[in-house]
Chains A and B, each alone.
Chain A
Amino acid sequence: MSDSRKKILVAEDDDFLASAYSVKLVKENYEVRVVKDGEATIQALTEFSPDLLLLDLVMPKKDGFAVLQEMQTSGLTTKIPVLVTSNLGQAEDKTKALGLGARDYIVKSDSSLEDIMKKVAEMLK
């Protein structure tokens, strides 16, 4: 029987946040893979081929902006919706991320997990 669950790739270098995402997303019946840096994110985009990417911006090796840049160049941002979840709250960061093809932008400390789950569900419709 094939797994019909939607696949979410979580790019988050903070263990605690990554674990919170995993717990909640699995409970919401998604298939989840967590990666902890930009390079692993790029790799997992093809290997795991997610239906949605939850992307942190400040990450080791390659930051979230660089990931978005690469995805935009290869045309992936049109195929895989990206929800940026960052604690960079500046309008400049938000504009930059959206300009690089991110679908939406959430400041983590201002949002509840419930809000993020709703956004995810909406974006997967």
Chain B
Amino acid sequence: MKVRGKIYFIFFVQFVVASVAIGMIISLSIFVNTKTEIVLIQSLTAVVAAMIVLIIGYVLATRLGNSIEKLSKDLEKFRLAVENTSNHIVITDAEGTILYANPAVEAVTGFTISEVIGKKVGSKELWGGQMEKEFYKKLWQTVKIEKRHFEGEIRNKRKSGEIYIAVTKIDPIINADGEVVFFVAVERDITKAKEVDRMKTEFISLASHQLRTPLSAMKWFLEMLLGGDAGALNPEQKDFVKKINESNERMIDLVDGLLNVSRIESGKIIVEPVLTDLKELINEVLVELESKLQAKKQTVLLNMGNNLPQINLDPKLTRSVYLSLLTNAIKYSRHGSEIQLIITKNENELISRITDKGYGVPKFEQKKMFDKFFRGTNIVQQETDGTGLGLYLAKMIVQSWEGRIWFESQENKGTTFWFTLPLSGVKPKKGVVTIDS
């Protein structure tokens, strides 16, 4: 309403100015004794001009009013958003003195808004001061000296004394002269999420033990039966026991696969790069696959070039990607077929290409290729054995080193997979879990 009042006031002033202008023209005309017709024409012109001014004025004022009203509504929305978010938001001056704190600050820290306004952010008097000195030094260096965005995990203390973990994001607000005028800090309490994470890791460990124990018992007794420890089996018995054993091994693979998925999804995979001879690693993988290759009378055409550099990569993770893609190539192509493994180099990456002349995947299913538990409908008819986790895991692993993985496939013609390794090496990642291969 205030805005509308101002607009009407402007409109009124314009009206008065226009009226005064008309009056002045008429008076001036009479004063200089101009002819009546001229006075009338002049007055008419003045009235038209005044009306045009009035209309323009009205349109401009209404537009201005609308935009001011919209702006004030936007500001209101913004205020509501800031006040109602569960994220803790604090605005400080350039020295870190708190000028504003949203209600979430009180909900998270336990300190009332009036208790925090005017105090130094990050001080022990409030929720801060729980990290090592180095952390705060780096924080201030980033936001105040380098005037850059800072983001990090921080340990804080609620008014009740309880420690909590938050992700903090701080941005300096810089004026036209390049000086920091404010800091805006947004924090999210992730204590619960951390706890869930810890429980998930614990679950992985527990499930790993609980599920594997009965599978191990079956494995060993079946091994003894097959080994004749309980007397010789007749050929049919031996065949049955072998089948049970194979099923059990599949179950073990499935449990291992699920555990790996669970570990990878917890985002806590340890990436430990070491200087690795890729040639050697691939040869080891091929040795491991030899019995499978022999069983299907397949060959691997290997071309790695002559000057493959040694790069920093996590051998265990890299090995599992090659193993997974090559196992698929063997499994999903016919007896006696050839598989190709070719490694090339571009400016920044080593590109591994694995090609088979196998069953391929129908076009309509290709977008699901890397989905968890996906198995091609044509594949399921050919090979019942498989968990549908291999490619999903391979993709997650390649992404863990920021690499790319993609494929081309044509039904009954074959499939080619490509994946990349950075020539500069894989970056180490601290985590809590490893994968089993």
Chain B residues near A (Cβ < 8 Å): 205, 208-209, 212-217, 219-221, 223-224, 227, 229, 252, 255-256, 259, 270, 432-434, 436
- Tell me the nearest residue of chain B to A108, going by C-beta: B216
A90 interface residue per 8 A CB criterion = yes
Partner of A14, one of B208, B213, B229: B213
| Residues of chain B lying within 8 A (CB to CB) of residue A88 | 205, 208-209
| Residues of chain B lying within 8 A (CB to CB) of residue A109 | 212, 215-216, 219, 252, 255-256
How close is A116's CB to chain B, nearest CB, in angstroms? 9
- Tell me the nearest residue of chain A to B206, going by C-beta: A58
A113 interface residue per 8 A CB criterion = yes
The answer to whether B219 touches A112 (Cβ under 8 A) is: yes
Kindly state the separation between the CA atoms of A40 and B214 in the bound complex, as whole angstroms.
23
Interface residue ranges of A61-118 to B (CB < 8 Å): 86-93, 107-110, 112-114
| Residues of chain B lying within 8 A (CB to CB) of residue A17 | 213, 216-217, 220
The answer to whether A24 touches B205 (Cβ under 8 A) is: no
Partner of B213, one of A27, A87, A114: A87
Partner of B205, one of A90, A112, A114: A90
| Residues of chain A lying within 8 A (CB to CB) of residue B433 | 90
A1 interface residue per 8 A CB criterion = no
Partner of A58, one of B209, B217, B252: B209
Kindly state the separation between the CA atoms of A23 and B219 in the bound complex, as whole angstroms.
14
| Residues of chain A lying within 8 A (CB to CB) of residue B256 | 89, 109
- Tell me the nearest residue of chain B to A87, going by C-beta: B212
28 contacts between A and B (CB under 8 A): A14-B217, A16-B221, A17-B216, A20-B220, A23-B224, A24-B224, A24-B229, A86-B209, A87-B208, A87-B212, A87-B216, A88-B208, A88-B209, A89-B208, A89-B212, A89-B256, A90-B434, A91-B270, A92-B432, A107-B436, A108-B212, A109-B212, A109-B216, A110-B436, A113-B220, A113-B223, A113-B224, A114-B227
Kindly state the separation between the CA atoms of A87 and B259 in the bound complex, as whole angstroms.
12
Kindly state the separation between the CA atoms of A14 and B214 in the bound complex, as whole angstroms.
9
How close is B215's CB to chain A, nearest CB, in angstroms? 5
| Residues of chain B lying within 8 A (CB to CB) of residue A92 | 432, 434
Kindly state the separation between the CA atoms of A24 and B108 in the bound complex, as whole angstroms.
60
Q: Give the residue among A24, A58, A88, A89 with the most B Cβ atoms within 10 A.
A: A89
The answer to whether A108 touches B224 (Cβ under 8 A) is: no
How close is A88's CB to chain B, nearest CB, in angstroms? 6
How close is A105's CB to chain B, nearest CB, in angstroms? 13
Q: Give the residue among A20, A23, A90, A93 with the most B Cβ atoms within 10 A.
A: A90
| Residues of chain A lying within 8 A (CB to CB) of residue B217 | 14, 16-17, 20
Known: A17-B217, A86-B209, A91-B270. 13 other contacts (CB 8 A): A14-B217, A17-B213, A20-B221, A20-B224, A23-B224, A24-B229, A58-B209, A89-B256, A90-B208, A109-B215, A109-B219, A109-B252, A110-B436
| Residues of chain A lying within 8 A (CB to CB) of residue B255 | 109
How close is A106's CB to chain B, nearest CB, in angstroms? 10
Kindly state the separation between the CA atoms of A27 and B259 in the bound complex, as whole angstroms.
35
How close is B83's CB to chain A, nearest CB, in angstroms? 45
Kindly state the separation between the CA atoms of A108 and B432 in the bound complex, as whole angstroms.
22
| Residues of chain B lying within 8 A (CB to CB) of residue A58 | 209
Partner of B229, one of A23, A108, A110: A23
